[in-house]
Amino acid sequence: METQQVLNSSNEEESLKQETFRSRRRRFKVSNMSFEEMVEMVDILKRADYVGKYGPYLNPNVRKAKIMTKVVKSLLRNFGVRQSKEQLRKRWSDVKLREQDQYRRIKKVLLKSDVQVVVPNSVISPVTVPNG
C-alpha cells in the first residue's frame, strides 16, 4: 500500500516537472509567411551558407542554430513577426523541397536585387544640341 502511494506521488511530481518545463518553452502562433518574409529568410540563409555548400564546418548544428537566430531577429525587427526557429526550419524545408515554383520566384527576386545597374556618365549628362 505504501509503495503504491510512493509510486503515485513520484509520478505526480514527474508529470508536474514536465508540465512546468513545457510551459516555460516559448510557443509562437503559427502563421503563414508573406512572400516578402520568405524572401528575407531565404536571403539570410543563402548569404550565410545555411546548407553548407561552401565547405566543411566544425559544428554545423551550432552554426545553423546561430543563422536561424539571425532569421528570427530579422523577421521580428523588419516585419514584427515572431516565429520560432523550429517553425522557420520547417518552412525552409517546405519551400526548398515541396514548393519549387515559390522557391524559383524567390531566387529571381534575390538575383534582381543583387544586380546593380551601372549607368554610364554620358547618358546622365545633358546633351547640348546646336540651334540651327
Would residue 58 count as lying in a domain? Answer: yes
Give me the number of domains the chain comprises.
Answer: 1
Residue 26 placed within a domain: no
Q: Which domain holds residue 82?
A: 33-111
28 in any annotated domain: no
What pTM did the predictor assign?
0.65
Q: Is residue 123 part of a domain?
A: no
Q: What is the pLDDT of residue 131?
A: 64
| Rounded Cα distance, 23 and 71, in Å | 24
In a domain, 78, yes or no: yes
Whole-number pLDDT of residue 11: 56
Q: Which residues of 79-116 are buried (b: 16+ CB within 10 A; e: fewer)?
A: eebebeeebbeebbeebeeeeeeebeebeebeeeeeee
Is residue 68 situated within a structural domain? yes
Whether 20 is in a domain gets the answer no
Mean pLDDT by 10 residues, the chain (132 residues): 53 55 58 90 95 90 95 95 93 93 94 68 53 60
Q: pLDDT value at position 32?
A: 85
